[in-house]
């Protein structure tokens, strides 16, 4: 038997509801195999912060690191000042565990209605850099709250950091039928960071000569995501542009209720983390209304990352089949989870 | 007679073609009135740079400043290294002339097909900050081209700069029927800049108590632009987010061929500049194929800025009528210009 130790951070709002279903589907996927999943729950998020003032302690982080992977629901609540949990918990996890590949597939499944009139076939992945760029938290403010305030945000980009994520993106492009990589940046304005990205893509391309590449400014990318999303195969981009483009990508493929993501440490020096792209949605929390599909698809990414590719495929196939037959049916979070788990069991 | 001195920067690619038609419509709009337009052409852009190595000299800038307004076509050519003309000419104009309000209307005209299946009524304006943020050109790179390269981009935001553009946006919202202002930023990650923006919107709201406000993270804004663009009335946002959102806004309202913009200096210490959102489109340049509509709508914004509101209205009405009857007709740049000029003449 192979035992997988999973750290579970259900978090806030609908996080707990969707994670419960994600775990049920995960169990179903490995049932009857020699894989055994054990889970450890971590009490992190708004409740813990209100109770203790803590977001993520060194001890939490140390214990999380002992696991094989992390399943995260959602972080954030209106009762907590903006930035506290995002920077102190979610981004701290991504940065501390060196999740430099933030992988976000965008696929328009059969049966899902796109808000676009003519979406065509949409099936691409965004490789969003996860440990640098404008997200580093390097900034500050002076004379805060006065008419002379100045606030800065520094985007930091290193050859080391850009090269490793670009190489990962090339490898992913090479493994796909179309073998195409699009760099998205804004190198005509952000010339220093942008040219580093551009030079890196050109250099690493030599290692992947069969991968074709092109470049789009981030503003133009939002146009193509609206008018011709089929043109994309793999997108590689920085942390902030990736944040923006993946929400738009989710919107055109049926909404963030379906969008999965993986925060991957490809060097496996720390556990990778799998989470739906959506947030904690306090407006519908506790009502059993949330769609757990994004979490279930994140579980498929988790299985894949752990080398359980056959199990991953079964989970994705179950979701695809469910989406194809879903129609306008209104189901609870638990119903969707139950039906998906049943399909995975086969 | 009132004489208006217009600086014309036709620029590169299709810039010259669309500006010619924009000027023809402008002439038509003031024909028979006591307004006389005189134009001075400035040779700026790729040709000039190749010939002289200059982008925008102090002398150019001094002469441009003597005009009442600027009409700009498009800047940029693949033969010029990325960033040279953008930073050295276009952004230099916006920054030197203190164009702190970059106004970009997004309206889905009758007869225009949106790529969205159910766009609803779309009629909002984006007030994009034009002189600060990640566009300041404050950054650099160290050990460039080596494996130890580090490249930075610094976003600079001041209370002075944010407050003046936020106040302008509130005034615009107040003058519109819905009186609603949406701040777009990413204050859960870019906490310093984001909180400055948020505090400023809250403070300035006291001067405009009848304007309602809400806030969206930039990633969520791209979702709503896809699923429910009718929700927007006035958006205020920073330079980079504004760049991204206005291209997406153009895409959902029929493409950048129709998107107008105004770079406004509301204090009138220097001339404001009016330009289509699209670029120089070298692929179709010189073929008489470019749609001059975005430039003509920019001319309407120019007339409005100069207090010629009746003339501005006539130009916009002409465009609206043309769009309503356009259908699938293929017309040359000159034909569209001619027909619009004729409609404006009435
Ligand atoms: C919650 C927030 C910090 C986060 C991000 O910006 O990365 C979210 O938007 C996401 O995309 O995962
Ligand atoms: C050409 C470029 C510098 C410019 C910008 O980023 O502002 C353009 O994209 C725009 O939106 O006017």
Enumerate the residues of chain A whose CB falls inside 8 A of the CB of residue B186.
240, 243
As for how many domains chain A has, the answer is 2
pLDDT at residue number A102? 98
Same domain, A236 and A261: no
Q: Which of B68, B77, B168, B243 is catalytic?
A: B243
Query: Looking at residue B222, what is its pLDDT?
Result: 98
The angle, 0 to 180 degrees and rounded to 10, between the axes of the packed helices B15-30 and B309-326 is 120
The verdict on B141 touching A (C-beta cutoff 8 Å) is: yes
Ligand 1: residues within 6 Å at CB? A 86, 90-91, 243, 277; B 188-189, 219
pLDDT over threshold 90, residue A104: yes
Q: Are residues A102 and A3 in the same domain?
A: yes
Ligand 1 centre distance from Cα of residue A256 (Å): 12
pLDDT digits (tens, 9 = 90+) for B203-262: 999 999 999 999 999 999 999 999 999 999 999 999 999 999 999 999 999 999 999 999
Q: Both A211 and A273 in a single domain?
A: no
Give the span between the Cα atoms of B153 and B306, in whole angstroms: 36
What pLDDT, on the 0 to 100 scale, is given for residue B346?
82
pLDDT 10s digits, A74-102: 999 999 999 999 999 999 999 999 999 99
- Tell me the CA distances in angstroms from A108 to A243, A274, B118, one per residue in order: 19, 20, 18
The model's confidence at residue A276, banded by pLDDT at 50, 70 and 90, is very high
Residues B139 and B154 reside in one and the same domain: yes
Pair of tokens at residue A329: 């049916």
**The ligand 2 atom nearest the CA atom of A217:** 9
Whether residues A297 and A334 share a domain: the answer is: yes
pLDDT-derived band at A272 (thresholds 50, 70, 90) equals very high
**What pLDDT digit, counting tens, does each position of B107-129 carry?**
999 999 999 999 999 999 999 99
Burial of B175 (0-12, 13-18, 19+ CB in 10 A): exposed
* Confidence band for B328, pLDDT divided at 50, 70 and 90: confident
Instruction: Tell me what the mean pLDDT of segment B22-43 comes to.
Output: 97
- Sort out which chain B residues have CB atoms less than 8 A from A193's CB and list them: 139, 151-153
- Ligand 2 atom 9, closest CA: B243
What percent of chain B is predicted at pLDDT more than 70?
A: 100
How far, in Å, CA of A139 to CA of B191, rounded? 9
**Same domain for B170 and B248?**
yes
Mean pLDDT over each residue of chain B, to the nearest integer: 97
CATH code of the domain covering residue A100: 3.40.718.10
Q: Kindly state whether residues B246 and B163 are assigned to the same domain.
A: yes
Å from B168 to nearest chain A CA? 17
Structure tokens at A299: 């579980």
Residues of chain A above pLDDT 90, percent: 99
pLDDT above 90 coverage of chain B, percent: 99
- Closest alpha carbon to B39 in B64, B57, B14, B56: B64
Nearest CA-CA partner of A162 in A189, A202, A122: A202
Last residue of a domain, one of B253, B284, B299: B253
Cα angle, residue B281 at apex, residues B275 and B37 outer, rounded to 5°: 30
Ligand nearest to the CA of B128: 2
Distance from the B254 Cα atom to the nearest Cα atom in chain A, whole angstroms: 10
pLDDT given for residue B23 in this prediction = 98
One domain for residues B3 and B104:
yes
- Residue-range definition of the domain harbouring residue B312: 1-111+255-346
- In order of A299, B33, B321, the CA distances from A263 in angstroms are 12, 64, 51
Average pLDDT of the segment spanning A269-282: 97
Q: Assess whether A44 and A135 both reside in one domain.
A: no
Which atom of ligand 2 has the smallest separation from the CA of B275? 12
Does residue A211 have a pLDDT over 90? yes
Pull the structure tokens for residue B25.
């419509």
Query: Which of A225, A253, A281 is at the close of a domain?
Result: A253
B28 φ, ψ to 5°?
A: -60, -35
CA distance A154 to chain B (A): 4
Chain B hits for A218, Cβ within 8 Å: 243-244
Based on the fold, state whether residues A240 and A260 are members of the same structural domain: no
Average pLDDT of B95-108? 98
- Which of B199, B230, B253 corresponds to the end of one domain? B253
Residue of B90, B105, B136 to test ligand 2 pocket, by largest number of atoms within 8 Å of CB: B90
What is the pLDDT at residue A346?
82
Do A287 and A321 lie in one domain? The reply is yes
Q: Is the pLDDT of residue A328 over 90?
A: no
User: Does the pLDDT value for residue A282 go beyond 90?
Assistant: yes
Q: Which of B153, B195, B222 sits opposite A190 (nearest CB)?
A: B153
Can you tell me the distance from the alpha carbon of B17 to that of B292, in angstroms, rounded to the nearest whole number? 8
* Separation of CA B240 and ligand 2 centre (Å): 9
Closest listed ligand to the CA of A298: 1
Write phi, then psi, for B124 (nearest 5 degrees).
-140, 170
Asked if A82 lies within 8 A of B195 by C-beta distance, the reply is yes
Domain identity same for A246 and A259: no
Cβ contact B101:B136 at 8 Å: no
pTM of the shown model: 0.97
């Amino acid at each position: 038997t192979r035992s997988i130790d999973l750290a579970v951070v259900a978090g806030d709002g609908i996080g707990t509801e969707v994670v419960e279903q994600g775990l049920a589907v995960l169990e179903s996927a490995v049932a009857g195999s020699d894989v055994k999943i054990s889970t450890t729950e971590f009490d992190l998020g708004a409740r813990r912060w209100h109770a203790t003032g803590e977001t993520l302690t060194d001890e939490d982080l140390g214990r999380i690191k002992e696991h094989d992977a992390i399943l995260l629901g959602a972080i954030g609540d209106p009762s907590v000042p903006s930035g506290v949990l995002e920077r102190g918990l979610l981004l701290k996890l991504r940065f501390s565990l060196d999740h430099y590949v933030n992988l976000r597939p965008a696929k328009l499944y059969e049966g899902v209605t796109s808000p676009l009139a003519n979406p065509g076939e949409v099936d691409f992945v965004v490789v969003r850099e996860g440990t640098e760029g404008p997200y580093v938290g390097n900034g500050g403010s002076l004379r805060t709250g006065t008419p002379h305030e100045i606030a800065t945000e520094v985007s930091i980009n290193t050859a080391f950091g850009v090269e490793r994520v670009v190489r990962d993106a090339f490898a992913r492009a090479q493994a796909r039928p179309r073998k195409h990589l699009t760099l998205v940046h804004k190198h005509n304005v952000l010339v220093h960071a942008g040219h580093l990205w551009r030079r890196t893509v050109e250099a690493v391309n030599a290692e992947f000569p069969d991968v074709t590449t092109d470049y789009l400014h981030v503003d133009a990318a939002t146009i193509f995501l609206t008018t011709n999303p089929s043109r994309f195969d793999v997108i590689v981009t920085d942390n902030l542009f990736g944040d923006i483009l993946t929400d738009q990508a989710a919107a055109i493929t049926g909404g963030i209720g379906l969008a999965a993501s993986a925060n991957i440490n490809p060097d496996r020096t720390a556990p990778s983390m799998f989470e739906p792209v959506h947030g904690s949605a306090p407006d519908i929390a506790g009502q059993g209304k949330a769609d757990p599909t994004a979490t279930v698809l994140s579980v498929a990414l988790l299985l894949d990352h752990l080398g359980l590719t056959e199990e991953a495929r079964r989970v994705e196939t179950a979701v695809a089949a469910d989406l194809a037959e879903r129609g306008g049916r209104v189901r609870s979070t638990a119903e969707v989870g139950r039906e998906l788990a049943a399909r995975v069991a086969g």
